[in-house]
Chain A
């Protein structure tokens, strides 16, 4: 019987593959690169929350539903995660813009930027939420 697979499919298995992610020791810079993509994708779907919020603000009933969600523990968790994701992606983006100017590629600079990205995003998010919960009267 004739092999109906494409030439690509038939020859793919015989070619050596280049090393991929699993052979590398996990490093902070690598993790932050992956985190930048994951937070970007999360922010993509997070825009649904923004759209819902803006749309709901026009009607008392609609806004009550949004506030019920935002006040529930799962809603709080999602909003907290979304804030962190946005801040992390923004700081990661600033890192990319620095790299675009040709700066920040040295070994110690890379490590420092990756650590600042992570610590900065967690720090800002926590401070922001402490402020939110305090000004909302702990509701």
Chain B
């Protein structure tokens, strides 16, 4: 009898989730958000630049308008998901000490959520005029 072609079970191959049990989810999300980031970043930069010379009242009014609010919310969501995966890859590449790596991966998640939610709070505050 010949040796089996695969050591992995048929179920494992069908599920395709690999040794880390997460499959290609991060790979896919990184590309999905990369594509979304292109128009969203261009839009956010145009908004930022066109507001630089204006006073606070004008900036608050324009940033709080419905279209700009939605664009900025999508921008923040997409870039924070993208940068959390990216920084996790950098940490996993360079930090080999297990406890330091886990600490930094946690810090990465905390930072991403904190900065993302702060930005979202700022946008919603302007939009709802609170």
Contacts and interface: CB of A to CB of B under 8 A. Distances in A.
A70 B52 CA distance: 9
Contacts, number: 85
Contacts of A94: 38
Contact of A55 (B35, B44, B116, B118): B118
Interface residues of A, number: 35
Contact of A135 (B31, B53, B76, B86): B53
Contacts of B83: 40, 43-44, 47
B36 to A, nearest CB: 11
Interface stretch (A23-31, A56-64, A108-116): A56-64
Contact of A131 (B49, B60, B63, B90): B49
Given A48-B115, A57-B63, A96-B34, A132 B52 contact: yes
Nearest to B123: A54
Interface string A36-79: 01001101100110110111111110011000001000000000
Contact of A97 (B34, B56, B122): B34
Contact of A47 (B49, B115, B121): B115
Contacts of B121: 55
A137 B54 CA distance: 11
A41 B123 CA distance: 24
A37 B86 CA distance: 9
B71 interface: no
B70 interface: no
A134 B36 CA distance: 30
Contact of B56 (A57, A132, A135): A57
B39 to A, nearest CB: 10
Contacts of B119: 47, 50-51, 54-55
Contacts of B52: 70, 132, 136
Contact of B86 (A44, A51, A59, A139): A44
Interface of A: 37, 40-41, 43-44, 47-48, 50-51, 53-60, 63-64, 70, 83, 86, 90, 93-94, 96-97, 100, 128, 131-132, 135-137, 139
